């Protein structure tokens, strides 16, 4: 999972960096901005939204993969779900299911919060 996630994230991060509007960078350089200022005021606000959304998306996918892999015998939270269902401990099955559901829902709320925050920062940087 780690190799797959890192490979995918590197690819989408590189694409996000390639899609930066060159006009913003040129404008900062034209006003005498240093390389550090170009990165902090031009590059980071532009790519931060994509970085956050892709990172959280990949984490969410990995949570789901971990549950499925555990069900088929690779361990982790899915293994706990299978173990509890085999011994008919349905209260534990419900608990593990609620933990998985809670992790996915909390990641969804975190994504929305970080996306809004990133959009506010980008809007301030653009003005």
pLDDT of residue 122: 66
pLDDT of residue 13: 93
Spans of the chain below 70 pLDDT: 121-122, 125-127
Instruction: Give just the sign of the alpha carbon dihedral 109, 112, 117, 120.
Output: negative
CA-CA distances (angstroms) from residue 68 to 4, 28, 37, 65, 102?
A: 16, 48, 45, 5, 16
Which of helix, strand or coil describes residue 109?
helix
pLDDT of residue 11: 94
Distance CA 3, CA 47 (A): 23
DSSP letters spanning 88-113? T-HHHHHHHHHHHHHHHHHHHHHHHH
Structure tokens at 84: 């509890």
Is pTM, for the whole model, over 0.95? Answer: no
What are the residue ranges of helices labelled H in 19-72? 22-30, 35-38, 44-71
pLDDT of residue 109: 87
């Amino acid at each position: 999972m780690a190799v797959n996630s890192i490979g995918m994230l590197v690819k989408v991060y590189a694409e996000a960096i390639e899609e930066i509007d060159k006009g913003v960078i040129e404008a900062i350089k034209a006003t005498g901005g240093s390389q550090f200022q170009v990165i902090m005021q031009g590059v980071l606000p532009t790519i931060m939204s994509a970085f956050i959304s892709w990172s959280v998306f990949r984490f969410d996918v990995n949570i789901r993969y971990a549950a499925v892999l555990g069900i088929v015998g690779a361990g982790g939270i899915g293994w706990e779900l299978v173990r509890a269902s085999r011994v008919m401990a349905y209260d534990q099955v419900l608990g593990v299911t609620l933990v998985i559901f809670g992790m996915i829902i909390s990641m969804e709320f975190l994504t929305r919060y970080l996306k809004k925050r990133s959009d506010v920062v980008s809007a301030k940087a653009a003005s």
